[in-house]
Structure 1
């Protein structure tokens, strides 16, 4: 979906986007302008991902494949994949809330609940301006982004759902109250305020910290949630990132992307794309390139 939305622009063809489940295709048809907004926001969260991992062996580099931004990395359930799902989910929320506030979408505008008067630590104020409608963006993001994972419900799907939610919550975490003062000589005796999203960098910084402290987990005996994979690990909270397996070896050059790839053999023949979780089944030639890579010499440190 990322590639399609980013390149089709106004000619979004929901029926031709591979890998969408029925719920996603239905939402796509109903809200084409929202899909365009999601596509236009891809470069923002991708740029933030690359900023957070600049100068690292894995630097959030992308591939030239049509249906998948991150190549064979997404075959794994590592902490890097946890970050990708979280930052992309956060990016969808941020993009949609901003598009609502800017009047780019017919289905939403400013937050209609921010009316009348309220108060904070500084005293009373009146709601005014245009508050970012982050709750609407959260609901749509959850409905669309999570749809495929809710259909699968295996260990990886549970991991992705958890990290998607952590990403969404991160945007809401950094909502701020911005105010304009009125009164004689700047006394600020009267204030007009609105709720606004903070710069997306704060969300990126927060998720990078969560990446550093990500918790390795195993699915619980009921298959409904997680428990820490090792007894000395903390139990994961709702705001934590979780992963199921160790990170791959990024000291091997990936010819397709020019970055560093995993030196281990993937466990499945599917390439999974991000926002919609759409699936691309590799051709016979691609399967050979994925599963029969010759041994390569590691780059010296």
Structure 2
């Protein structure tokens, strides 16, 4: 289960860092998102430097997903990793917000210009932590030549593209397990949750 979170936060982290560098003008191949233009239905002017998250996501997909895809046939683990990578990026995309600035005489707001920004990375991390706590266990299934991962139990709701999924339950970190490299908490109190 922990690997689901690691993949999601890593993919989101790459997308976030690249997007932020684009907005700051630190990369030659990208800049602000200039696709958002004109007047919004709410009446404000789109302007300023909107975060170019589409570039950051594309970079993250190429960089983070490539090791999984380059192996050819996708294993169950690769399908799980790709799903969690995308869920991490979607956490950023789903929580973009609009920031605005007023322009006018003596502080009046005759004209308002607005742009889109990513959430702070701490917020994205908190969102993914919640998704980790509600992650869905899946098991691989082959339908013809296609492989997919339905939920392990039909009692659970099907997962969405925004949810984290895992193949194996987490080990018990309280008890020592040398085969898994778990040292346990001998002599200390352990919270099993």
Instruction: Name the counterpart of 2:20.
Output: 98
How many residues align? The count is: 185
Does residue 68 of structure 2 align to residue 149 of structure 1? yes
TM-score normalised per structure 2: 0.87
C-alpha deviation, 1:252, in angstroms: 5.3
Given the alignment, which residue of 223, 231, 247 partners 2:170? 247
Return closer, same or farther for 1:186/1:165 CA change in 2, 3 Å cut-off: same
Given the alignment, which residue of 154, 157, 170 partners 1:234? 157
Decide whether the 8 Å contact of 2:76 with 2:149 is kept in 1: no
Instruction: Name the counterpart of 1:7.
Output: none
CA RMSD of aligned residues (A): 2.2
Instruction: Name the counterpart of 1:200.
Output: 121
Q: Which runs of 5+ in 1 are unaligned?
A: 1-78, 254-262, 267-289
Return closer, same or farther for 1:297/1:178 CA change in 2, 3 Å cut-off: closer
Measure, in 2, the Cα distance between the counterparts of 1:231 and 1:175: 33
| Aligned-partner SS, 1:224 | strand
C-alpha deviation, 1:297, in angstroms: 8.3
Measure, in 2, the Cα distance between the counterparts of 1:151 and 1:225: 18
| Aligned-partner SS, 1:149 | helix
Given the alignment, which residue of 67, 80, 102 partners 1:159? 80
1:90-129 alignment to 2 at 5 Å?
90-115=12-37, 117-120=38-41, 123-129=42-48
| Aligned-partner SS, 1:92 | helix
Instruction: Name the counterpart of 1:265.
Output: 179
CA displacement, residues 20-65 of structure 1 (integer Å, 9 cap, x when unaligned): xxxxxxxxxxxxxxxxxxxxxxxxxxxxxxxxxxxxxxxxxxxxxx
Extract structure 1 runs of 4+ deviating beyond 6 A: none
C-alpha deviation, 1:118, in angstroms: 2.5
Instruction: Name the counterpart of 2:3.
Output: 81
Measure, in 2, the Cα distance between the counterparts of 1:101 and 1:186: 27
Does residue 102 of structure 2 align to residue 181 of structure 1? yes
Decide whether the 8 Å contact of 1:214 with 1:240 is kept in 2: yes
CA displacement, residues 65-90 of structure 1 (integer Å, 9 cap, x when unaligned): xxxxxxxxxxxxxx111001101110
| Aligned-partner SS, 1:228 | coil
Return closer, same or farther for 1:151/1:264 CA change in 2, 3 Å cut-off: farther
Decide whether the 8 Å contact of 2:23 with 2:51 is kept in 1: yes
Decide whether the 8 Å contact of 1:118 with 1:124 is kept in 2: yes
Instruction: Name the counterpart of 1:225.
Output: 148
Given the alignment, which residue of 81, 90, 93 partners 1:169? 90
Q: Which runs of 5+ in 2 are unaligned?
A: none
Return closer, same or farther for 1:196/1:300 CA change in 2, 3 Å cut-off: closer
